């Protein structure tokens, strides 16, 4: 895992080193730069050595005649197969790296080489013969890539803080996407909260030539269920493919371990690691919540299940215990995330990564993506329930659900899981198509968002549908509303949120995280599995659970799902109170002019009294203010930790 940066259409070699140094955490082992003044191009690189630890892996890297140069971040899992084939065809390779394989694949296939590789990546490749720059991002957006276009100049980097080392880049808030951030906790699509900085989207590349950039989609997954295969055969195929996928992602020249929460996804990965290597030491890492943390947010205690899986599989398990003072890390996480993201799960993700790094482990396998490809969310169950309720008119069910949500909220408190889920299910029931998906992934409510927005930004009527979400919905290829829902989650929730914070929090600790569920072979297999085997009679991830029964105890496989995260509602009620008083003070809110101070005070009071669930909405406001202090008021400089 590494950090890349550079420019095209300008002569600014003096910027390469400052840009690269802004990402030292992404690559503490080495730094390199290359530029060609005549071609007006330069590349920078920070290296975290994973494959071929020798100096031969130094980047930027070129082909034999120096006509093609690359700065690469990521891993290509099938690079050994490509390497052997390239050598047979007469290519000269000077290292054992996957990076060099990409250079020579490009020599043969140009940008279409992307369709031949299986991995996670973001890279910049300069083709001196064609005088063009290729910026490419992997099929699922696992690795980040940002850019700023200024006339015919283009600057790019793995992190926004590196781009902010470029003089003249406007640090201007993108007001139009604030509503999307308050809705989802993150910003989907190509936009960021900095108006002039954009992302290369998942499965896309940007080709710059003669001062003109052109973006193009290179990957699209078709969901074409195969009903000719029996349930038993699908179970066997999932088992064999998943083991092969996990084993393929264990190639490393440095110590490798895994996240282990005790849930299905991470347990399946660790079980596959053990099945692939019965005698290898496998180190696993997790977090422990206290009783107080679990009580407020009604989390289940996952740690005993993680201990049980570790004991059954014979792996080492190390953990840390959540403490209230860990919220002091919020400003640090805002700095490392580059984009405002209001999910506190970034904190345990960072602390687990740091624990692994301190333990001498450099690569971790993660279960991120399992819920998307195998239908693991409550929203998948909601879609199935909607289909079963199609015979009933929505106007008959709506008042019943409204009453149930009201009664349960009065008895249990508005922040309890049952009334929260009933309210969301009700909103989805009366919607169709894209609107239903958007209701189910909404973390607050349109009414609450309109109430807190300052008059100048509140808008009138319904909130606009984000263009990226509409595009992802329309781009779906195949059959099935559940498949379309998963497609939307992969394109948006994973790429703009889960992968964002997984990458940034792990790289903050100089750890590489790999995600076997996003292996292309497994994703294509899952897209061919009929929906009824992924969600079977209300059992989520049914075919995966059946496949893993030969490795994992059923008590682990079939227990209720618990999310990976932090006790935000407890923090909002207790530990974050001084932060709320400061960061969301009337003075600060009036200075920014984005939110109505009286409405924010009312939302805080409602949340404190458990009359409403505004925890994530208020945390959005906290992280947005800290992000502005870090990236608008300052050019990407870390704020002090909370006292």
The pLDDT of residue 291: 67
* Spatial separation of the C-alpha atoms in residues 16 and 32, rounded to whole Å: 9
Cis peptide before 168 (omega within 30 of 0): no
Could you count the other beta carbons within 10 Å of the beta carbon of residue 142?
A: 27
Alpha helices per DSSP H over 287-365: 291-297, 303-313, 330-337, 346-358
Site of tokens 């699908």: 234
Task: Determine contact, residues 517/367, Cβ cutoff 8 Å.
Answer: yes
The pLDDT of residue 564: 67
The pLDDT of residue 461: 66
2-217 and 222-643 have identical folds: no
* Spatial separation of the C-alpha atoms in residues 558 and 539, rounded to whole Å: 8
Write the burial class of residue 560 (CB in 10 Å: 0-12 exposed, 13-18 middle, 19+ buried): exposed
* Spatial separation of the C-alpha atoms in residues 584 and 598, rounded to whole Å: 11
**DSSP structure string for 475-541:** H-EES-HHHHHHHHIIIIIIIIIIHHHHHHHHHHTT-EEE-GGG-HHHHHHHHHS-HHHHSBTTBTT
For residue 33, what are the β-bridge partners? 44
Strand, helix or coil for residue 629: helix
The pLDDT of residue 417: 77
Task: Determine contact, residues 351/321, Cβ cutoff 8 Å.
Answer: no
CA 395 from centroid of its chain's CA atoms: 37
For residue 258, the surrounding DSSP H or E stretch is strand 256-259
Structure tokens at 259: 């996240």
Give the total residue count for the chain.
643
Q: What angle do CA 600, 602, 608 make, to 5 degrees?
A: 105
Could you count the other beta carbons within 10 Å of the beta carbon of residue 542?
A: 22
The predicted model scores a pTM of: 0.95
* Spatial separation of the C-alpha atoms in residues 303 and 572, rounded to whole Å: 23
Write the burial class of residue 393 (CB in 10 Å: 0-12 exposed, 13-18 middle, 19+ buried): exposed
Write the burial class of residue 486 (CB in 10 Å: 0-12 exposed, 13-18 middle, 19+ buried): buried
**DSSP structure string for 13-54:** GGGHHHHHHTTGGG-BTEEEEEEETTTTEEEEEEE---S--S
Alpha helices per DSSP H over 27-159: 79-88, 98-109
For 192, how many CA atoms within 13 A lie in the half-sphere containing its CB? 28
For residue 194, what are the β-bridge partners? 173
The pLDDT of residue 323: 81
Structure tokens at 594: 């984005």
Strand, helix or coil for residue 446: helix
Using alpha carbons, list the distances in angstroms from residue 58 to 44, 97, 122, 355, 549: 11, 10, 17, 27, 44
Q: What's the CA dihedral at 125, 127, 132, 133 to 10 degrees?
A: 10
Burial call 462-474: b when 16+ CB within 10 Å, e when fewer:
eeeebebbeebbe
* Spatial separation of the C-alpha atoms in residues 264 and 376, rounded to whole Å: 10
* Spatial separation of the C-alpha atoms in residues 74 and 102, rounded to whole Å: 12
Cα maximum dimension of the chain: 73
Could you count the other beta carbons within 10 Å of the beta carbon of residue 167?
A: 8
For residue 536, what are the β-bridge partners? 539
CA 278 from centroid of its chain's CA atoms: 31
- Hey, CA dihedral for 240, 375, 365, 545, is it positive or negative? negative
The pLDDT of residue 165: 97
Task: Determine contact, residues 305/568, Cβ cutoff 8 Å.
Answer: no
Question: How many Å is the Cα radius of gyration of the chain?
Answer: 24
- DSSP letter (8 states) at residue 301: -
- DSSP letter (8 states) at residue 173: B
CA 375 from centroid of its chain's CA atoms: 17
Write the burial class of residue 213 (CB in 10 Å: 0-12 exposed, 13-18 middle, 19+ buried): middle
Structure tokens at 582: 């400061």
Alpha helices per DSSP H over 169-228: 178-184
The pLDDT of residue 428: 74
Strand, helix or coil for residue 361: coil
Task: Determine contact, residues 145/190, Cβ cutoff 8 Å.
Answer: no
- DSSP letter (8 states) at residue 204: E
For residue 106, what are the β-bridge partners? none
Contacts of 372 (CB under 8 A, 6+ apart): 486, 489, 490, 493, 494, 517
**222-643 CATH fold:** Rossmann fold (3.40.50)
* Spatial separation of the C-alpha atoms in residues 179 and 197, rounded to whole Å: 18
Residue extents of the structural domains in the chain? 2-217, 222-643
* Spatial separation of the C-alpha atoms in residues 614 and 435, rounded to whole Å: 22
- Mean pLDDT per 10-residue section of the chain, whose length is 643 residues: 94 97 97 97 96 93 96 96 94 93 96 97 97 98 97 97 97 96 96 98 97 95 96 98 96 94 95 96 91 60 92 96 86 97 94 97 97 95 84 68 72 74 77 91 91 76 88 96 97 96 97 97 98 95 97 92 77 89 95 95 93 93 97 96 83
User: 2-217 maps to which CATH number?
Assistant: 3.60.20.10
Q: Helices 433-440 and 481-488, interaxial angle, to 10°?
A: 50
């Amino acid at each position: 895992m590494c950090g890349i940066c550079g420019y095209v259409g300008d002569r600014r070699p003096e910027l390469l080193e400052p840009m690269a140094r802004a990402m030292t955490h992404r690559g503490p082992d080495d730094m390199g730069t290359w530029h060609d003044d005549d071609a007006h191009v330069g590349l920078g690189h920070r290296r975290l050595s994973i494959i071929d630890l020798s100096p031969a892996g130094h980047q930027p890297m070129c082909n034999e005649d120096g006509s093609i140069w690359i700065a690469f971040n990521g891993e290509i899992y099938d690079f050994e197969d490509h390497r052997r084939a390239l050598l047979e065809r007469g290519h000269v390779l000077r290292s054992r790296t996957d990076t060099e394989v990409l250079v020579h694949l490009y020599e043969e296939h140009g940008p279409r080489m992307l369709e031949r590789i299986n991995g996670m990546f973001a890279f910049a490749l300069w083709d001196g013969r064609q005088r063009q720059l290729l910026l490419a991002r992997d099929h699922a957006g696992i690795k980040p890539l940002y850019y700023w276009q200024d006339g015919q100049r283009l600057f790019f980097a793995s992190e926004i803080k590196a781009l902010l080392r470029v003089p003249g880049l406007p640090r201007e808030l993108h007001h139009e996407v604030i509503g999307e951030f308050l809705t989802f906790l993150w910003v989907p699509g190509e936009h960021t909260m900095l108006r002039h900085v954009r992302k290369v989207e998942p499965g896309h590349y940007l080709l710059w030539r003669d001062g003109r950039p052109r973006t193009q989609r290179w990957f699209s997954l078709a969901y074409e269920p195969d009903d000719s295969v029996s349930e038993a055969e699908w179970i066997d195929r999932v088992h064999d493919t998943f083991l092969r996928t996990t084993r393929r992602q264990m190639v490393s020249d440095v110590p490798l371990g895994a996240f282990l929460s005790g849930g299905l996804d991470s347990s399946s990965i660790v079980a596959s690691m053990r099945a692939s290597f019965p005698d290898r030491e496998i180190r696993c890492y997790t977090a422990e919540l206290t009783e107080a943390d679990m009580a407020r947010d009604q989390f289940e205690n996952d740690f005993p299940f993680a201990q049980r899986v570790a004991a059954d599989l014979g792996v080492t398990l190390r953990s840390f215990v959540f403490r209230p003072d860990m919220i002091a890390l919020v400003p640090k996480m805002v700095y490392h995330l580059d984009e405002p993201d209001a999910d506190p799960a970034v904190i345990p993700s960072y602390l687990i990564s740091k624990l692994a790094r301190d333990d001498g482990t450099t690569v971790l396998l993660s279960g991120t993506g399992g819920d998307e490809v195998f239908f693991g969310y409550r929203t998948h169950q909601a879609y199935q329930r909607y289909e079963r309720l199609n015979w009933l008119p929505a106007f008959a069910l709506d008042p019943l659900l409204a009453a149930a949500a009201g009664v349960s909220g009065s008895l249990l408190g508005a922040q309890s899981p049952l009334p929260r889920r009933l309210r969301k299910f009700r909103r989805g029931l009366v919607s169709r198509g894209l609107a239903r998906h958007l209701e189910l992934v909404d973390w607050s409510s349109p009414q609450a968002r309109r109430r807190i927005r300052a008059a100048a930004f509140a808008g009138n009527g319904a909130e606009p549908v984000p263009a990226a979400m509409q595009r992802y919905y329309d781009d779906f290829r195949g059959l099935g509303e559940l498949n379309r829902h998963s497609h939307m989650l992969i394109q948006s929730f994973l790429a703009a949120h889960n992968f964002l914070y997984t990458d940034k929090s792990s790289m903050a600790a100089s750890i590489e995280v790999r995600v076997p569920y996003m292996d292309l072979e497994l994703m294509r297999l899952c897209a061919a599995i009929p929906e009824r085997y992924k969600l079977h009679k209300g059992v989520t991830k049914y075919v995966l659970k059946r496949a893993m029964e030969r490795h994992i105890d059923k008590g682990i496989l079939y227990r209720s799902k618990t999310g990976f995260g932090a006790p935000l509602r407890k923090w909002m009620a207790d530990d974050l109170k001084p932060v709320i008083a400061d960061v969301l003070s009337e003075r600060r809110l009036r200075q920014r002019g984005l939110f109505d101070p009286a409405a924010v005070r009312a939302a805080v009071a409602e949340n404190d009294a458990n009359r409403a669930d505004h925890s994530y909405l208020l945390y959005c406001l906290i992280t947005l203010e800290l992000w502005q202090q870090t990236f608008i008021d300052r050019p990407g400089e870390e704020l002090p930790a909370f006292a």
